[in-house]
Amino acid sequence: MSSVSTNAAQPSRPLTRNDYKTLSLSALGGALEFYDFIIFVFFAAVVGKLFFPVDMPEWLRLMQTFGIFAAGYLARPLGGIVMAHFGDLLGRKKMFTLSIFLMAVPTLIMGLLPTYAQIGIWAPLLLLLMRVIQGAAIGGEVPGAWVFVSEHVPARNVGYACGTLTSGLTAGILLGSLVATWINSLYTPAEVSDYAWRIPFLLGGVFGLMSVYLRRWLHETPVFAELQLRKALAEEVPLKAVLRDHRGAVVLSMALTWLLSAGVVVVILMTPTLLQTTYGFAPAVTLKANSLAIVLLSLGCIGAGALADRFGAGLVFLFGSLGLLVSSWTFYHTVGAHPDWLYPLYAITGLFVGTIGAVPFVMVKAFPPVVRFSGLSFSYNLAYAIFGGLTPMIVTLMLKANPMGPAWYVAGLCVLGMVIGVYLLKIRQAC
C-alpha cells in the first residue's frame, strides 16, 4: 500500500472528549444524510404516481421512478471527485459541511415540489435534478467523512473511528425504514398519496440543515492543518497523482467497495423483498427482521473497526468474510423450511455484514494524506456506481436461473473478501 502511516501528525494518545464529539457529530450527520438519500426508495410507488402521467403503464412509471433513484448513484463519482479535489486543496471541513448542505436542500425541495397534475413535465424533471444534486452530495460525504474522522483520532484508533462512522451511515437506512413504517401506519393510503408522503422529505431537509449548523463546531483535521503549515499540499490535480502513482491502492479500494456494496445492497436492501416473494413472509415481518439485521450490522461495523485496530484488517476480512459466507448461506438455504429461524439467522448475517466497517480503515491507509480524499473518493464512488448499480440486475438475473442466486452472489464476494484478507496479512508481515 502507498501509505503505512495514516496519522503521522498525531501522537499516540487515548481518545479525548473532543474526539468523541467529532465522532458523534460526524456519525449523526452521516446518518441523516444517508436517510435523505434513501428515503426516496421507500416512497417510490407513491412518487411515481404523482410525478408521471396518470395514463402511463405501471411498469413504465416504476421504471422511470427507479431510473430517477438510480440517477443519484450515477452522479456520485462526479460529485465525489469534484468535492474531493477541493477537499485535498482547500480543507476537509469545508467539503464535509458543504456535502450535507447539498443533501439537505434538495431533500427539503423534494418535499415541496408540485406534482405532474400541477406543472406537467417539469415535475419529473425537477425531481431528477434534485436527485442528481443528492447523488453528488453523497459522493462527497461518505469518503469525506471517513477521511475527516480518521485524521482527527490517534493512529491506533483509526479503525474504531471509521467503523463508528460507517455504523452511523447504516443507521440512516434504519431511520428511513422506521420513518416509512411510521408514516404508513399513521396515515391511510389516500392521505399518504395526498400529502403525507411529503413529511419524510421535509423532516430530512430540516434535520439536514440542523446538521450543517452542528458541523460548524467541528475543527479542520490536524493532518490537513499540518500539510497547510508545511505548504505540502498537492502541486498538481490530486486525481492525476492518484491515477499515476497509486493504481494499486485504487484497485484494492475498488475491490473492497464491491464487497461493501454487495453486503448492503443484497443482504440489507434486496432481501426483504426476496423474503416476501420467494419465501412468502408478510411485509411487516420482513421489515422487523430487516430492522434487527441493520441494528446488528451497525454494531458489527464498530466491532470490525475496533478489531482492525487491534489485530489488523487482514484477519478481520479473513474471518469476517468466512463468517458472512457461512451465515448467509445458512440463512438463504434454511429460512424457507424454518420460518421461525428468520430473526436469529438474519440478525447473525447482518452482524457479519458489519465486516464492512473495516473497509475504510484500509482505504484511508492506502493513500498518503496529500491525495487521500481524492484517491479514496475516486475509488469508492466509481466502484459503487458500477457495482451498486449492477448488483441488483445481476442478482435478479441469477434469481431467474436459481432461487438461491443471492446466496451464490454473496458467497462469491465472501471469497473475494477472504482473498483480500490474505493479501493484507502478507503486506503486514512484509512491513
Distance, CA of 336 to CA of 325 (rounded, Å): 18
pLDDT reported for residue 9: 41
Lowest mean pLDDT: which of 82-91, 147-156, 200-209, 244-253?
Answer: 82-91
Per-residue model confidence as pLDDT tens digits over 25-50:
788 878 887 888 778 877 877 888 88
Alpha-carbon distances of 379 from 138, 223, 275, rounded to whole Å? 14, 21, 32
Grid coordinates of 29: 450527520
Residue 8 lies in a domain: no
**pLDDT tens-digit profile of 105-116?**
999 999 999 998
Nearest C-alpha neighbor of 157 from the set 376, 17, 6, 295: 6
Check residues 22 and 111 and name the one with the higher pLDDT.
111
Are the beta carbons of 328 and 345 closer than 8 angstroms?
A: no
* Cα separations in angstroms, 306 against 159, 160, 247, 327, 356: 5, 4, 28, 22, 12
Task: Check whether 70 has a pLDDT greater than 80.
Answer: no
Distance of CA 344 to the CA centre of its chain: 24
Whole-angstrom distance, CA of residue 321 vs CA of residue 415: 7
pLDDT, the chain, mean: 84
* Cell numbers at 141, concatenated: 460525504
For 382-423, the pLDDT digits (tens) are 898 888 777 877 888 888 888 888 899 999 999 999 999 999
Tally the domains of the chain. 1
pLDDT value at residue 221 = 66
Residue 339 lies in a domain: yes
Q: Could you tell me the residue range of the domain that residue 97 belongs to?
A: 17-430
Do 413 and 259 touch, CB atoms closer than 8 A?
Answer: yes
In whole angstroms, how far apart are CA 294 and each of 171, 268, 301, 407? 7, 7, 10, 18
Of residues 204 and 431, more confidence is placed in: 204
Q: Is the pLDDT of residue 319 over 90?
A: yes
**Does 171 map to a domain?**
yes
Residue 162 in this model has a pLDDT that exceeds 70? yes
Looking at the domain assignment, is residue 32 inside a domain? yes
Residue 369 confidence class, pLDDT cut points 50, 70, 90 = confident
Residue 383 lies in a domain: yes
- Write down the pLDDT at residue 83: 76
Q: What is the mean pLDDT of residues 208-229?
A: 73
Q: What is the pLDDT of residues 320-365, one digit of tens each?
A: 999 999 999 999 999 988 999 999 999 999 999 999 999 999 999 9
Residue 10 lies in a domain: no
> Does 229 score more than 70 pLDDT?
no
6 belongs to a structural domain: no
Burial class of 216 by CB neighbour count within 10 A (0 to 12, 13 to 18, 19+): exposed
CATH number at 111 reads 1.20.1250.20
The CA distance from 303 to 308, in Å, is 9
Is 11 a member of any domain? no
Q: Where are the alpha helices (DSSP H) in 17-121?
A: 17-42, 44-51, 58-74, 76-89, 92-110, 116-119
Predicted confidence (pLDDT) at residue 88 exceeds the cutoff of 70: yes
The pLDDT > 70 percentage for the chain reads 90
pLDDT (average), residues 67-77: 75
**Number of other CB atoms surrounding residue 255 within 10 Å:** 20
- pLDDT category at 80 given cuts 50, 70, 90 is confident
Residue type, 331: F
Highest-confidence segment of 73-87, 201-215, 309-323: 309-323
pLDDT of residue 385: 82
